[in-house]
Amino acid sequence: MAEEHNSSTTRDERYDPQRIEQKWSARWLSDPQLYAAEPHSTKPKYYVLEMLPYPSGALHMGHVRNYAIGDALARYMWMNGYNVLHPMGWDSFGLPAENAAIKNNTPPRQWTLQNIAAMKAQMKRLGFAYDWSREVTTCLPDYYRWNQWFFLKLFEQNMAYRKKSKVNWCPKCCTVLANEQVVGGNCWRHEDTPVEQRELEQWFLRITEYSDELLRDLEKLPGWPEKVKIMQQNWIGRSEGTLVDFDLGGTVGPAGSTITVFTTRVDTIYGASSIQLAPEHPIVSDLTSRNPELRAQVDEMIAEQRRAKEAGDIGNIEKHGVFTGRLAKNPYNGEAVPVWVANYILMDYGTGAIMSVPAHDERDFEFATKYKLPIRLVILPESTDPEETMTAPPLPFTAENGILVNSGEFSGLSCADAIAQMSARAAEKGFGKATVTFRLKDWGISRQRYWGTPIPMVYCEKDGVVPVAEKDLPVILPDKVMVTLAGGSPLASVPEFLNTTCPKCGGPARRETDTMDTFVDSSWYFYRYADAQNDQAPFDSNTIAYWFGTEGIDQYIGGVEHAILHLIYSRFWTKFMRDMGMVKNDEPVARLFTQGMVIKDGAKMSKSLGNTVSPDEMVARYGADATRMYTLFAAPPDRDLDWQDTGIEGIQRFLSRVYRLYTRDPVQANAAAAETAENLHILEKHGSDLARMAIAAPETAAKAAERKIQRKLHQTIKRVTVDFKGRWHFNTCIAAIMELVNDLYGAEQAIAKGLVPATLIAEVQRSIALLLAPMAPYLAHELWEMTGETSNLLKAPWPKYDPALAAEDEIEIPVQVNGKLRGLVVVPAGASNEQIEQAVHADAKVTAALAGKQVVKVIVVPKKLVNIVVK
RNA sequence: GCGAAAGUGGCGGAAUUGGCAGACGCACCAGACUUAGGAUCUGGCGGGUAAAACCGUGGGGGUUCGAGUCCCCCCUUUCGCACCA
């Protein structure tokens, strides 16, 4: 103890992040208004948002990186005079809380709130500048009651409906998953657990109502990564095609029954040689009703498809099928074609029935070859040369531009024209029509779990399915629940919850016991931030209009893993709210940034690989500033970051060097400079121009030293500003500051000798504090104070550079001969081309390289380079 | 199979529009100061050479006075999609 006190004189000399960070942390925490957004302001607004975490118990490096980027941006915008909204919250419903409850016998609520407290403390220790007065915790009734409120609105608008259907079931989660939550046939949370198919009664939201708009409006999002937009586009999967009815001739099932096929290539229909049905197609049961052997084969196909789907390699199964013995009539040419059932036809796309055109589709070709079905060519390649006779292409010929042949009256048309005319014909004759199908399906939100928002519906024997009255919200999630993973919704075992009265008739009724998908919570949480305390409505529309404007959140930052799930649901929710008149913006997010992963030893950090790095440990060892700054320095933010333990030490070394620039004792520095004269001569021997000058002409030397530092300062401000604002290349911002610091150390002798005015030194010190403020806020604040500043650095104006001061007096021009570097000439910055050429010809190295050669051409690129072409 | 991104020293990465390839950092080497150094400072650091020449941005072609950067072909890695009719 005593020793620590004794060392106090030297303690201040050393960069001690723990001491500095504790000091500032205490100050920041004592002012809850510090990072508060202003409700009204004359300043321009800026809403910067990072994806809220799931409160798993501890932040990982991926979080730190994500939040370090957002925090740097928020702080930068504050310094640029914006009214910044920078909130944080907790995506706190979900399965891990239930698993933890089972494992540790801790109630989910308690477990979750403990985790939130722990992670919030971590965030505060890291110094992230959040407006905690707007904190959103999705598992608390004051938030989830609005989920329920929205559900009622959706129900009113017929946008929420109940349907029995085949759904994805994760046996580990013991609940249903949305299509978006199935990754390669497996559960998104359990990547090695195949999803099963179950038939269940479920609540769905009609996201497909917005299929077209969700696709079209991607064009309104120039601030989104192309990659994310393409992923969404693929997910929505819009496909234009034609429905065509093939008549079964009344031989099957109800008289006059038909099979409707969906095709994108109706132009090839004269080449159709069979109909292929999905094994689960409803008409198959009619077709197989008097043929048990056929039925058995179909059942085996269904089982096979299910197995393949669960194994995630549907698409690789070998194609096979079985002829049903029936024929169907092609309405275009009257031809009767055989009806087959095939294992490669999927019931959940299109109509579950296709026409098979082997000549112009690879899959059909493979199938037809196997079963020796006719392969009839009906499209020929479009010839570029009109003289050339059209020749038969190799099969299958799947190009989409060609000319129809063997297609009756449509022969001779181009494929595009034929599709239009043939679709029109179908509509006219009543056997089909042009149509659009989507891969996107309605969003199933029922979950057979406890820890989620109760769906506010009741079931009454008399009145059926009845919504809970708005005034009775929230439907509170009961605390006392035995959570188990044994099938069925845990809430069904809580009589106090389950048994209620019907809002309509007052008679006995049962509550819905399923809870909502947690992606409901995250679909609109960022609106709640803008008006988090509102207990009358989810939010006030005028407040939203202020923070969202017409384009949405100014900058959203998060991982690309949410490219489809969260981001498509959020877009849907915004469009629904807009149609309800609640918001004016069409899209929730104007600009999206997806940062790269944090990896180590070439792999994503994971407990199973044992390559995790604990933020707490890093903060304890190197401080929050170094930890944050390293995540910004090690790679540009959009790329994966390869964590290196020695890398963060380099950052800490840099911060120490910066700190020392402010603490260097002038007396000691002067003592060090006592040997200046001698040092100058040593430096001169090392080739220091400044040293040479200081001996020969002290006045000129002083000017030169001053100018050199001043120029570097302004160049640095410029580089940091441009890279920060324009490109988000924090790594090069930091590199630029490092260069400035290196130069200052290089000028140590000059400074010690008093060649550099104290005012300039002070300006440099203030500027470095300002430039570091977004990235290393603790140290920056300390340095700011050390320069004698008393204003709050958080909102101090970002430094400006003077282009005139940043400009070089002299520039070095590389000289090439035939494109190879042969010399370097130094000319005044404003030198004309003639002057440059003169200097070039005066250069010994260049003239040597030119000796005996004939100059063909001299290229002078102003201020850049000279290239002399010789023979 | 389709689509996208990437490939630069021992490593992470610079090079904004075609103009000195390798900024900055790590690691490493040498030196200084030290009782000591896992502190700090100075210098070196793509290959090659005694020094040059020369060779170098995944490979091969091309455009250009000049290519990491633009064009064509190919290879590798990562990610996304995948019987989507």
Q: Give the Å distances, CA to CA, from A76 to A68, A71, A361, A511, A654.
A: 12, 8, 56, 50, 21
- CA A542 / C1′ B30 distance in Å: 68
pLDDT band at residue A348 under the 50/70/90 scheme:
confident
Q: For B3, which residue's CA is nearest its C1'?
A: A230
pLDDT over 50 at A1, yes or no: no
pLDDT in tens, A692-714: 666 666 667 778 888 999 999 99
pLDDT of residue A845: 80
Q: For B26, which residue's CA is nearest its C1'?
A: A647
And the tokens for A735? 């590199």
**Contact by Cβ (8 Å): A529, A130:** no
Nucleotide nearest to A353 (CA to C1'): B85
pLDDT band at residue A691 under the 50/70/90 scheme:
low
pLDDT band at residue A676 under the 50/70/90 scheme:
very low
pLDDT in tens, A205-220: 999 999 999 999 999 9
And the tokens for A582? 């609640």
ipTM score of complex: 0.95
pLDDT band at residue A634 under the 50/70/90 scheme:
very high
Given CA atoms A846, A850, A851, A857 in this order, what sign does their dihedral have? negative
Whole-number Å distance between alpha carbons of A804 and A116: 51
Taking phi over 0 as left and psi of -120 to 50 as alpha, with beta for the rest, A343 belongs to alpha
pLDDT over 50 at A668, yes or no: no
Whole-number Å distance between alpha carbons of A398 and A840: 62
pLDDT over 50 at A672, yes or no: no
pLDDT of residue A169: 85
pLDDT of residue A54: 95
Region A170-185: what's the mean pLDDT? 80
pLDDT band at residue A6 under the 50/70/90 scheme:
very low
Q: For A266, what's the count of Cα atoms within 13 Å in the CB-facing half-sphere?
A: 32
Q: Among A810, A807, A782, A812, which Cα is nearest to A713's?
A: A807
Which carries the bigger pLDDT value, residue A65 or residue A487? A65
pLDDT band at residue A184 under the 50/70/90 scheme:
confident
Nucleotides of chain B touched by protein CB (<7 A) = 3-5, 11-16, 19-21, 23-27, 39-43, 54, 65-67, 79-85
**Contact by Cβ (8 Å): A302, A280:** yes
Whole-number Å distance between alpha carbons of A117 and A646: 31
Region A421-449: what's the mean pLDDT? 93
And the tokens for A786? 């050390």
Q: For B81, which residue's CA is nearest its C1'?
A: A234
pLDDT over 80 at A681, yes or no: no
Q: For A259, what's the count of Cα atoms within 13 Å in the CB-facing half-sphere?
A: 33
Q: Can you give the length of chain A in residues?
A: 871
Give Cβ neighbours of residue A655 (< 8 Å, ≥ 6 apart): A15, A17, A623, A625, A626, A629, A776, A779
Whole-number Å distance between alpha carbons of A140 and A57: 18
pLDDT over 60 at A535, yes or no: yes
- CA A841 / C1′ B47 distance in Å: 32
pLDDT in tens, A799-829: 999 999 999 888 888 898 888 888 888 888 8
Tell me whether strands A336-342 and A274-277 are parallel, antiparallel or unpaired: parallel
pLDDT over 70 at A342, yes or no: yes
pLDDT of residue A837: 84
Cα distance from N-terminal residue to C-terminal residue, chain A: 79
Whole-number Å distance between alpha carbons of A144 and A445: 14
And the tokens for A686? 């090392």
Q: What is the DSSP string of A56-100?
A: -SS--HHHHHHHHHHHHHHHHHHHTT-EEE---EE---SHHHHHH
Whole-number Å distance between alpha carbons of A736 and A719: 7
| 3-class SS of residue A805 | helix
Q: Among A135, A75, A77, A89, which Cα is nearest to A625's?
A: A75
The enclosing H or E element of A9 equals: helix A8-11
| 3-class SS of residue A160 | strand
Whole-number Å distance between alpha carbons of A206 and A444: 9
Region A153-164: what's the mean pLDDT? 96
- CA A651 / C1′ B38 distance in Å: 16
Give Cβ neighbours of residue A545 (< 8 Å, ≥ 6 apart): A583, A584
Of the ranges A45-49, A171-175, A291-295, the best mean pLDDT one: A45-49
Nucleotide nearest to A308 (CA to C1'): B83
Whole-number Å distance between alpha carbons of A447 and A489: 8
Give Cβ neighbours of residue A184 (< 8 Å, ≥ 6 apart): A312
pLDDT of residue A667: 42
**Contact by Cβ (8 Å): A195, A177:** yes
CB contact burial A473-497 (16+ within 10 A = b; e otherwise): bbbebeeebebeeeeebbbebbeeb
Region A239-258: what's the mean pLDDT? 79
Per the listing, tokens 């999002």 go with A221
- CA A598 / C1′ B12 distance in Å: 13
pLDDT band at residue A35 under the 50/70/90 scheme:
very high
Nucleotide nearest to A735 (CA to C1'): B24
Whole-number Å distance between alpha carbons of A716 and A737: 6
The average confidence (pLDDT) of chain A is: 88
Please state the φ and ψ torsions of residue A749, each to the nearest 5 degrees.
-60, -45
- CA A622 / C1′ B46 distance in Å: 32
Region A640-645: what's the mean pLDDT? 90
Per the listing, tokens 């063909």 go with A856
pLDDT band at residue A652 under the 50/70/90 scheme:
very high
Q: For B6, which residue's CA is nearest its C1'?
A: A639
pLDDT of residue A862: 83
Give me the numbers of helices (H) and strands (E) for chain A, helices first please. 32, 34
Region A303-329: what's the mean pLDDT? 84
Which carries the bigger pLDDT value, residue A604 or residue A781? A781
Tell me whether strands A45-50 and A83-85 are parallel, antiparallel or unpaired: parallel
- CA A647 / C1′ B14 distance in Å: 17
Nucleotide nearest to A352 (CA to C1'): B85
Q: Among A32, A42, A45, A125, which Cα is nearest to A85's?
A: A45
Residue A457 pairs with which residues in a beta bridge? A467
| 3-class SS of residue A437 | strand
pLDDT of residue A255: 53
- CA A847 / C1′ B7 distance in Å: 40
Nucleotide nearest to A824 (CA to C1'): B20
- CA A854 / C1′ B63 distance in Å: 25
